[in-house]
Amino acid sequence: MPRREALKVVANVAVGPYSLIRVERGGLDPGVPGQFFMLEAPGRPLPRPMSLCQASSGELSFLLEAVGPGTRALAAVQPGQEINIFGPLGNGYRLDVEQPLLVGGGVGLAPFPYLSEQLGGPPAILGFRSEWHAEAAALVPNAEVVVEPTLVTELLTDTHDVFACGPEPMLEAVRELAPRAQLAWEAPMACGYGACYGCSVKIDGVLQRLCVAGPVLEAVA
Amino acid sequence: MILNASGCLDALEAPEVALGLDAFVTKTVTPQPREGNRPVRIAETEVGMLNSIGLENPGIDGLLSDKLPRLAELGVPLWVSVGGFAASDYAEICAALDDRAEVTTIELNLSCPNVDEAPESAAEIVAAARPETRKPLYAKLSPAATDLPETARAVQSAGADGLSLVNTMRGLALEEKTLQPRLGHELGGYSGQGLKPIALAAVYQCYRATGLPIVGMGGITSGRDALEFLAAGARAVALGTILFADPEAPGRVRRELAEELDARGLAGTEAATGLAHSRGPVHVA
């Protein structure tokens, strides 16, 4: 069940250009890999959705890239500060597969450390726009790393059970090559629990709220 | 009495949040199902947010056959928010709701900033809806009306039993780098804390103009905010944008409001309604 608690920040670590925010777990359930939490962005009116990156003992951690006012506010949190966190929310990855392969682009690798742990360290292909960004690959075991202009799809050759997370063009390209892939999508959302209808996207021709129907969707229903 | 603002909560997805309310107001229902506007539909601003959902809803048939029976099972009194593109749309839906015992009150959404407005005035729509139902009719008005107290008096004369004040106001947000509109629909409805002084003024003026029961809303985030809306003339308050950031807001605002009332020796919310008017009207020579 999702809960909302004010949790103390334990550490805010730079990983390449990204920030890894570690917080005390409190009474929150880490949920299933691919599920997300709404993180209070200090000083901003709305929280931000973040998938859980790591669930080490007694902690939760989130990987984010400061790209706007909310993520910049989150990237500036200091140890000892408390932020409200609500979750876990949405539908995560289905883990009952035979040959898992994680495919991620940029900060889209965020759910993979926890996912990899749950799946026993499967192979991963991670794509980044620079060597600096690629420093984050160290968070995911057994990862093969490509840097632009090479794309993750150039290494995606066989029929693994693909778990993907990354920018929309990457997800679309992965879906072409791996029709059974589980894809984690992103959309702006105000609430994360079905209240605002802000994150509606077309799924199988029907508009559905990504926070409720997703964020992980099977490529072919 | 604490409600949600229409379109700011799905009681079927989050029943535990709805159970903290004195009544649940549905998302606006229109005669036909609507997909709503294309993404992006949400844009945060410095002190609030814009939405351009565009009245996504299953249509009145979908509400009556599917959602209403399930909502009734929650045991929270139900208000249905009604929208349309002509006075006859509102009349038709009010007629369809009239014999539904699950529905306690009908709110006429006369002011959605994200869809084309009906050609008729707010008062003409209320007049068309009034004979179709015995249920209490609340008119939800925009704070952008040129003369809001006059509009409020007109809907009162047309048969409105109460007012819901206020809806969002039209706003625009631009992308940081590209300076292009952030919403797919370009303009959206502005809500959140920035709306509060405007909403308070609307409640204050319409209370004085009509004496009708008012549900006050617009940027309420705390018990103190709720108290101010009561003082301005509201009998009830509704929570909107704060529900997105804090699903526990109904219980929290209720506790804080009770503390505010206690601290002033007020026996209940009724005792606070209209307190801001105790000095009487200001006459300008």
Interface of A with B in 1-30 (CB under 8 A): 4
Q: Per residue in A159-217, pLDDT tens?
A: 689 999 999 999 999 998 988 899 999 999 999 999 999 999 887 788 889 999 999 99
- Which of A4, A68, A200 has the CB atom closest to B56's CB atom? A200
pLDDT value of residue A221:
44
* Cis geometry, peptide bond prior to residue B76 (ω within 30 degrees of 0): no
Domain boundaries, chain B: 2-36+56-169+193-276
pLDDT value of residue A220:
59
The CATH number of whichever domain residue A60 belongs to comes to: 2.40.30.10
**In this structure, which amino acid lies at residue B25?**
V
Q: How is domain B2-36+56-169+193-276 classified at the architecture level of CATH?
A: Alpha-Beta Barrel (3.20)
Q: Per residue in B24-61, pLDDT tens?
A: 999 999 999 999 999 999 999 999 999 999 999 999 99
- Rounded Cα distance between B148 and B171, Å, is 19
Q: Could you give the C-alpha distances from A172 to A90, A124, A130, B198, in angstroms and in order?
A: 21, 18, 22, 45
Strand partners, B140: B109, B164
Interface of A with B in 35-64 (CB under 8 A): 40, 44-47
Kindly give the pairing relationship between strand A18-24 and strand A3-15: antiparallel
- Rounded Cα distance between A157 and A83, Å, is 42
Contacts of A108 (CB under 8 A, 6+ apart): A164, A165, A166, A167, A170, A184
Cα end-to-end distance, chain A, whole Å = 26
Q: Does residue A138 belong to any structural domain of this protein?
A: no
The number of distinct structural domains making up chain A is 1
Q: Does residue A77 belong to any structural domain of this protein?
A: yes
For residue A194, the chain B residues in CB contact (below 8 A) are 10, 13-14
Instruction: Give the tokens for residue B60.
Output: 């009145």
- From the list B231, B208, B205, the residue with the least C-alpha distance to B220 is B231
pLDDT value of residue B282:
63
State whether A45 and B49 contact (CB < 8 Å).
Answer: yes
Contacts of A150 (CB under 8 A, 6+ apart): A127
pLDDT value of residue B116:
75
Residue A9's domain comprises 3-89
State whether B49 and A69 contact (CB < 8 Å).
Answer: no
Q: Does residue A94 belong to any structural domain of this protein?
A: no
pLDDT value of residue A30:
97
Kindly give the pairing relationship between strand A59-64 and strand A18-24: antiparallel
SS3 A12: strand
Determine contact: A199 vs chain B, CB below 8 A.
Answer: yes
CA torsion, ordered A145, A149, A153, A154, to nearest 10 deg? -90
pLDDT value of residue B4:
98
Q: Are B268 and B258 in contact (CB under 8 A)?
A: no
Strand partners, A64: A19
- Rounded Cα distance between B113 and B188, Å, is 7
Instruction: Give the tokens for residue B187.
Output: 């303009």
pLDDT value of residue B173:
97
Q: What is the pTM of this model?
A: 0.94
Q: Does residue A198 belong to any structural domain of this protein?
A: no
The widest CA-to-CA distance across chain B, in whole angstroms, is 58
Spell out, as residue ranges, where chain A has pLDDT lower than 50.
Answer: 221
Spell out, as residue ranges, where chain B has pLDDT lower than 50.
Answer: none
